[in-house]
Amino acid sequence: MEWFSDLSFWAVCVLVLTAFLAGIIDALAGGGGLITVPIMIAVGISPIEALATNKLQGCAGTLSASHHFIKLGHVSLREMRFPIFMTAVGSLTGTLLVTYINTAILLRIIPAILIFVAIFFYALPKLQPVISSFVRITMNRFAFIAGFSIGFYDGLIGPGTGAFFSTAFICLMGLSIISATAHTKVLNATSNLTSLVVFCFSGHILWGIGIAMGVGQWLGAKIGSRLVISKGNTLIRPLVITICIALSIKLLLS
C-alpha cells in the first residue's frame, strides 16, 4: 500500500486545488475526472495510479453532493435502493473486466456518444416537454436498463458517466434537469465506491494523495451541489455541453 508518490509539497497543493475545482464542476455537470486525471499524470503519477487514486478522491465529491441532495429531500434512498444495487453490480462487473477487454475500441466510440449528449442538452428546452408527454418507465426498469449498463460503463472506462445518467433520467423517467442531477449523484457515488473497493486490492491507490484530494473534492462538491439548487437551470445545461465536448476532444486526441 503506497500513500504518496515522490511529489513535492507544491505539487500536492496543485492537486488539492484541482480536486476542489473538479468537485464544483462534477456536482453540476459531471466530468470531474476530465480535470483531475490529466493533472495527476502531468505531475508524475502513472496512468494506472491516477485512475485508481481518482476513484478514491472522486468518491468524496459524489458522496458530498449525494448527502446534500438527500438531506434536502431531492432524492429518496428508499426509492433508489434497487437502482443503487443494479448500478453497483454493473460497476463491479465493469471494473473486474477492465483488465481483460481492449478499452481502446470503446474509447473510439465514446466521443460520438458524448457529442450526441451535448446536442441533446442543447435542444433540451424544446425536447423535454415532448419527452415528458410520452416517456415513462418505473424506477425498477430504470435500474435494469440504465443503472446496470451505465454502472458497467463507469467501472470499465468512466468519462461522461454523470452526463449519461442525467440524460437517462430525463429521457426515460421525465425528470427535471435539477432532479436528474440529484439522482445522478447517488448512482455515480455508488459506481465510484464499488470500483474503489476493487481497486483497493490492486495496490495502485496513492492513499495520501487520494485523501488530500478527496478533501478538496468534498468541499468543491458542497459548493457545486448548492449551485445546482439555486442556479441549476442556468448552469447545468451549458456545463454539460462544455464537458461533453471537452471530453470528446480529449478522447479523440489521446
What pLDDT tens digit does each residue of the chain (254 aa) get? 556 667 888 889 999 999 998 888 888 777 777 778 878 888 888 877 888 888 899 899 999 999 989 998 999 999 999 999 999 999 999 988 876 776 666 667 777 877 887 888 788 777 777 776 776 789 999 999 999 999 998 888 776 788 889 889 988 898 888 899 999 999 999 999 999 998 888 778 899 999 999 999 999 999 988 888 777 667 777 877 887 788 788 777 76
Q: Report the C-alpha gap between 190 and 27 in whole angstroms.
A: 15
Beta bridge partners of 2: 206
Cα separation, 249 vs 254, in Å, equals 9
Nearest to 125 by CA among 234, 47, 201, 9: 234
Place of cell 457529442: 115
Contact 185, 225 (CB under 8 A): yes
The torsion region of residue 15 among left (phi > 0), alpha (psi -120 to 50) and beta comes to alpha
Cβ neighbours for 138, distance < 8 A, ≥ 6 positions apart = none
Query: What beta strand segments (E) does 107-240 contain?
Result: none
Query: Closest by alpha carbon to 56, among 223, 220, 221, 213?
Result: 213
Give residue for cell 468524496. Answer: 60
Taking the model in full, what pTM does it have? Answer: 0.83
Q: What is the CB-side half-sphere exposure of residue 3 using CA atoms within 13 A?
A: 2
Cell numbers for 202, please give them: 490492486
SS3 content of the chain, % helix, strand, coil (to 5): 80, 0, 20
